[in-house]
Amino acid sequence: MATVYFYEKPGCVNNSRQKQLLEEAGHQVIAKNLLTESWQAEQLRAFFGELPIAEWFNYSAPAIKYGEVHPEQLTERQALSLMVTNPLLIRRPLMQVGETRMAGFDQQKVAVWIGLANSQTEADLQTCSRTPASLACHHD
């Protein structure tokens, strides 16, 4: 199976569930803190592939929720600059296997890419849950 470098926000409930799915499928998960990584724009850009710029963002980030950042109005350069200085803006998780990278956790895409166990969940693992237990996903 694959070794997955998994850039997460520690304490995020959905990131924990995503890692569990990967491990259940037999993958080795090497978790890294997305918020403390020393990102460079070109390094970060590689995770987004062909995604539209607006899909690079974590819409639970306070700067977006409070209208300070409008992802749909940004150029690639502006988006990357903002993310390098404020990693909370980055869509999670970022994953890397070998030289291939991905942003977000679309279960079907991950299954095609590296494989997932048959125990895939119907739960939304991309949007940060709004339950009190997971407030750490939103406001840190």
Is 12 among the residues known to form the active site?
yes
φ and ψ of 103, to 5 deg: -115, 140
Q: What is the CA radius of gyration of the chain?
A: 14
State the DSSP code for 37: S
What are the Cα distances from residue 108, in Å, to 58, 112, 121? 20, 6, 11
Cis amide leading into 93 (omega within 30): yes
- Look up residue 124 and give its amino acid: D
- Quickly tell me which residue has 């924990």 as its tokens: 16
Percent of the chain with pLDDT over 70: 84
Is the pLDDT reported for residue 19 higher than 90? yes
Contacts of 87 (CB under 8 A, 6+ apart): 34, 35, 37, 39
pLDDT in tens, 84-122: 999 999 999 999 999 999 999 999 999 999 999 775 555
| Residues β-bridged to residue 73 | none
Structure tokens at 75: 């150029």
Catalytic position from the list 2, 4, 12, 103: 12
Indicate the CATH number of 3-139 among 3.40.30.10, 3.30.2130.10, 3.10.690.10, 1.20.120.530.
3.40.30.10
